[in-house]
């Protein structure tokens, strides 16, 4: 097993070495490949994890699979850690943990720990530079001029806040806790007030006006997916056209070429929530079965990880009247018809004992009591690293100011390294469960009954032993995104079909996902099975080979002897 630690955020070369290490040491379980290059030309690594045994074949393609990725947003590096932890847990658990063993014997994981290696490399640099996602300049390939540029201006490796005295400032020092700032009362005047701005340098400062410099790197890769993609004036950062960015195209191409994928999970930070579609419309727009199934998968996630599950539209809007589009989870559900999730790792609020808070809405409005809890948490659990007390600093443009406040990168946006493993360790169980509920095609019967005079009735019955139906979502069924089971017969020399065709499509197989909690009239019929029959003329006997395959449920093979 490669040397790996979960209290470190790995840079690209180290992460790549660890990923290769798994493939080199466990070729029976892990294969590594590049699914394409990033904008700056780095390989984007993908691990396929299934029980290959000693075969050279791509057996993963014949098994239901789960897609898992992380770190499409540059600074959300704990997403990569969650993927790495999954890989580690699967490789270690195979042969020991019954669920993991059964999962890898029958199914496959595709894990892409770092979708956006360029942006992550900037975030993890010794003097970090924080951007939303890709390092490609957008929309203009020019250096922006003027304004506040966020950077570690005192070179201590942290990016904090600048507290600037200003009679027009909206903040004042809290009387209750002098390290915290509170809003100035609406009609209040005559006190000592401040502006709070991100730590950084000011370009072309005129002594009066401060604006934030627009970022040269204005893309948001998680707005560049084809689902309901919208242009810049409606969706900031979406790029010039859907999948215009190599990081997104790599991923979309791979998933489109792997119709065996039955679900997808993308790791982000932060908020501590399992997010699901839709981003742009209410739950009423779901086919009911798909919403019910989403809720059941989410409940299992909550039970295992402690994270609640929520709809982006209902619970994760940045502004009540604005929706977000072009995201991964909406794309994989909408265009591919499988269950997709955006996991926002880590909740500083919950860590601090703030329960049932409103994710993004909390930033706009929350009680001061919450700030006190967060400060206490930083003092007691983080050794003061989460909220730095204000200290004087001679700023090159602003003169004497103070630096301090929240350390966003390692207390809020990502877990502090020493708390990382505890945060990500529950996820492999949920992801394994998520894959184990996939449809799975199995052989129920394959027989040849002699009918006399060299004729045989060949009968094949297949079944779906998974919880989900073979089509996975009603959305996929209604949009005809997935084909039914295809059954093919290969005859021995000298034989011919008297009835039936060589290739028969026998439709989809139901699962157990929609079974009611009280038995009802027709709920337990055998819709999870399907049958095909051929009459074969084989005067010289021989062996008929049968293959049944379903894009999402896998492949089964059988041989039947044609002998009187």
Give residues in contact with Zn ion (CB under 5 A): 73, 76, 268
CA 151-70-554 angle, to 5 degrees, is 170
Task: Give the residue nearest to Zn ion (CB).
Answer: 268
Nearest-approach distance from CB 76 to Zn ion, in angstroms: 5
Tokens 């195979």: give the residue: 94
Nearer to Zn ion, 71 or 260 (CB): 71
Nearer to Zn ion, 301 or 337 (CB): 301
Q: Which ranges of 229-381 would DSSP assign to H, the alpha helix?
A: 246-256, 288-305, 312-315, 328-334, 348-351, 361-364, 368-381
Nearest-approach distance from CB 79 to Zn ion, in angstroms: 8
Strand ordering across the sheet containing 65-70:
30-37, 43-49, 108-112, 65-70, 261-269, 339-345, 273-276, 309-311
Nearest-approach distance from CB 444 to Zn ion, in angstroms: 44
Structure tokens at 431: 């992801």
Q: Which of 287, 289, 285, 311 is nearest to 298 (CA)?
A: 311
- In angstroms, the CA 504 to CA 145 distance is 65
- In angstroms, the CA 225 to CA 336 distance is 12
- In angstroms, the CA 446 to CA 457 distance is 11
CA 163-166-168 angle, to 5 degrees, is 125
Nearer to Zn ion, 73 or 317 (CB): 73
Nearest-approach distance from CB 532 to Zn ion, in angstroms: 47
Nearest-approach distance from CB 267 to Zn ion, in angstroms: 9
Nearer to Zn ion, 73 or 434 (CB): 73
For residue 339, list its beta bridge partners. 263
DSSP letter at 431 equals H
Nearer to Zn ion, 273 or 398 (CB): 273
N-to-C CA span, the chain:
54
Nearer to Zn ion, 72 or 491 (CB): 72
Nearest-approach distance from CB 483 to Zn ion, in angstroms: 34
Phi, psi torsion values for 221, nearest 5 degrees: -60, -25
- In angstroms, the CA 308 to CA 302 distance is 5
In a 3-state reduction of DSSP, which class is residue 181?
A: strand
Nearest-approach distance from CB 129 to Zn ion, in angstroms: 17
- In angstroms, the CA 117 to CA 147 distance is 28
For residue 149, list its beta bridge partners. 201
Nearer to Zn ion, 268 or 434 (CB): 268
Contact 345, 270 (CB under 8 A): yes
- In angstroms, the CA 392 to CA 360 distance is 31
Nearest-approach distance from CB 231 to Zn ion, in angstroms: 21
Nearest-approach distance from CB 266 to Zn ion, in angstroms: 8
- In angstroms, the CA 421 to CA 432 distance is 18
Contact 294, 142 (CB under 8 A): no
CA 503-509-512 angle, to 5 degrees, is 165
Nearer to Zn ion, 200 or 237 (CB): 237
Strand ordering across the sheet containing 455-464:
441-452, 455-464, 529-537, 496-499
Nearest-approach distance from CB 225 to Zn ion, in angstroms: 13
Nearer to Zn ion, 73 or 223 (CB): 73
- In angstroms, the CA 64 to CA 542 distance is 32
Nearer to Zn ion, 129 or 463 (CB): 129
DSSP string of 509-562?
Answer: ---STT--SS--TTTTSSTTEEEEEEEEE-TT-EEEEEEEEETTTEEEEEEEEE
Nearest-approach distance from CB 73 to Zn ion, in angstroms: 4
Structure tokens at 447: 């027989």
Nearest-approach distance from CB 270 to Zn ion, in angstroms: 9
Nearer to Zn ion, 76 or 423 (CB): 76
Nearest-approach distance from CB 269 to Zn ion, in angstroms: 7
- For 91: left if phi > 0, alpha if psi spans -120 to 50, otherwise beta; the answer is alpha
Nearest-approach distance from CB 119 to Zn ion, in angstroms: 11
Nearer to Zn ion, 329 or 402 (CB): 329
């Amino acid at each position: 097993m490669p040397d790996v630690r979960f209290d470190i955020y790995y840079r690209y070369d180290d992460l790549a070495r660890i990923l290769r290490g798994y493939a080199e040491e466990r070729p029976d379980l892990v294969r590594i490949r590049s699914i394409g290059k990033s904008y700056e030309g780095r390989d984007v690594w993908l691990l396929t994890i299934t029980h290959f045994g000693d075969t050279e074949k791509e057996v993963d393609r014949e098994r239901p699979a789960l897609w898992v990725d992380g770190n499409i947003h540059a600074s959300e590096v704990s997403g990569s850690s969650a993927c790495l932890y999954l890989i580690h847990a699967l490789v270690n658990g195979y042969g020991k943990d019954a669920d993991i063993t059964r999962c890898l014997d029958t199914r496959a994981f595709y894990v892409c720990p770092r979708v956006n290696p360029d942006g992550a490399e900037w975030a993890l640099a010794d003097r970090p530079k924080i951007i939303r996602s890709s390092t490609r300049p957008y929309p203009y390939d020019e250096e922006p001029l003027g304004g506040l540029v966020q950077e570690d201006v005192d070179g201590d490796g942290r990016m904090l806040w600048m507290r600037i005295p200003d009679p027009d400032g909206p903040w004042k020092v809290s009387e209750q806790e002098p390290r915290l700032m509170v809003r100035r009362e609406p009609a209040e005047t005559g006190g000592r007030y401040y502006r709070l701005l991100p730590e950084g340098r000011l370009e072309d400062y005129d002594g009066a006006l401060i604006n934030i410099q627009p970022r040269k790197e204005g893309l948001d890769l998680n707005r560049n997916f084809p689902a309901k993609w919208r242009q810049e004036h409606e969706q900031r950062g979406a790029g010039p056209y859907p999948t215009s960015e190599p990081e997104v195209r790599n991923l979309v191409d791979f998933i489109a070429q792997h119709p065996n994928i039955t679900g997808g999970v993308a790791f982000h930070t932060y908020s501590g929530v399992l997010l699901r579609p839709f981003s742009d419309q209410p739950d009423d727009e779901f086919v009911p079965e798909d919403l019910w199934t989403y809720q059941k998968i989410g409940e299992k996630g909550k039970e295992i990880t402690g994270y609640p599950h929520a709809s982006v539209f209902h619970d994760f809007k940045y502004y009540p009247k604005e929706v977000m589009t072009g995201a991964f989870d909406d794309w994989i559900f909408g265009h591919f018809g499988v269950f997709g999730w955006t996991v926002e790792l880590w909740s500083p609020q919950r860590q601090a004992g703030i329960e049932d808070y409103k994710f993004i809405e909390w930033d706009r409005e929350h009680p001061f009591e919450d700030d006190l809890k967060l400060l206490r948490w930083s003092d007691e659990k983080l050794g003061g690293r989460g909220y730095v007390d204000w200290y004087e600093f001679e700023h090159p443009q602003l003169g004497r100011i103070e630096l301090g406040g929240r350390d966003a990168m390692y207390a809020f946006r990502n877990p502090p390294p020493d708390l990382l493993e505890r945060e990500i360790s529950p996820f492999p169980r949920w992801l394994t469960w998520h894959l184990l509920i996939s449809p799975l095609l199995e052989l129920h019967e394959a027989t040849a009954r002699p009918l006399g005079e060299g004729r045989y009735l060949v009968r094949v019955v297949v079944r779906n032993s998974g919880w989900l139906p073979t089509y996975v979502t009603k959305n996929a069924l209604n949009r005809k995104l997935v084909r039914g089971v295809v059954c093919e017969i290969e005859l021995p020399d000298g034989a011919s079909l008297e009835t039936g065709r060589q290739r028969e499509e026998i439709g989809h197989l139901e699962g157990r996902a929609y079974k009611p909690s009280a038995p009802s009239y027709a709920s337990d019929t055998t819709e999870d099975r399907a049958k095909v029959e051929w009459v074969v003329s084989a005067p010289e006997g021989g062996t008929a080979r049968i293959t049944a395959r379903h894009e999402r449920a896998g492949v089964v093979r059988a041989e039947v002897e044609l002998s009187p």
